[in-house]
Amino acid sequence: MLSAARIVLVRHGQSTYNAEARLQGQADPPLSDAGRLEAERLRAFLPPFDAVITSDLRRASETAALLGYPDAERDPRFREIDLGEWAGRLIADFDEGEAAWRGGSLNPPGGETWAMFVARVGGTVDELVEAGRTRLVVCHGGVVRAALSHITGADPRGIAGPANTSVTVFRIGARARLETYAWTPAVSAT
């Protein structure tokens, strides 16, 4: 186990929508074959965790299971931003600098604003910080960016999206602080 209390966020493995460059939001596509392999590779690099939470969306819970936690607590507050009518559309259809999933001002019809999303994720992260225990949370790229923005105050438009199955670590103390952002294991070219 890690020596100090931490929140360890792992973005899910590649989904079928990721492979097609489609927006997901709260749509529920499964992992792709590549995503399952990514999760299996990452498992060897993670220490064991006593407390594991996952988004209730399939791509996150499948990743948690492949990391060795099929019975992880499912928490819908760790879902990706709700993209309403945009879910399933190609990412190329949008100006990346303005879209809600990047913290911009353009919001999806029937979905969540970035401010609503950060309030949801931030409140949930605050609960984990107050608990002061090390937790593994398997979630989504937007959740990782929203947590980072909430904890550090960083402008979300300046935060690169984390890669699939990347690891972000916050140390818990008088206040949480970022230790690692979007780390992925090196993959040998064999």
Contact at 8 Å (CB) between 103 and 117?
A: no
Proportion of the chain above pLDDT 70, given as a percent: 93
Edge-to-edge strand ranges of the sheet holding 167-171: 73-74, 52-54, 135-139, 6-11, 167-171, 177-183
Catalytic residue positions, numbered: 12, 80
- pLDDT digits 0-9 by tens, 113-155: 999 999 999 999 999 999 999 999 999 999 999 999 999 999 9
Residue with tokens 């107050």: 130
21 pLDDT band, cuts 50/70/90, is: very high
Which of 12-16, 46-50, 134-138, 170-174 has the weakest average pLDDT? 170-174
Structural domains of the chain, ranges and CATH numbers in brackets: 6-183 (3.40.50.1240)
3-state secondary structure of 117: helix
pLDDT at site 183: 98
What pTM was estimated for this model as a whole?
0.94
Confidence class for position 98, pLDDT limits 50, 70, 90: low
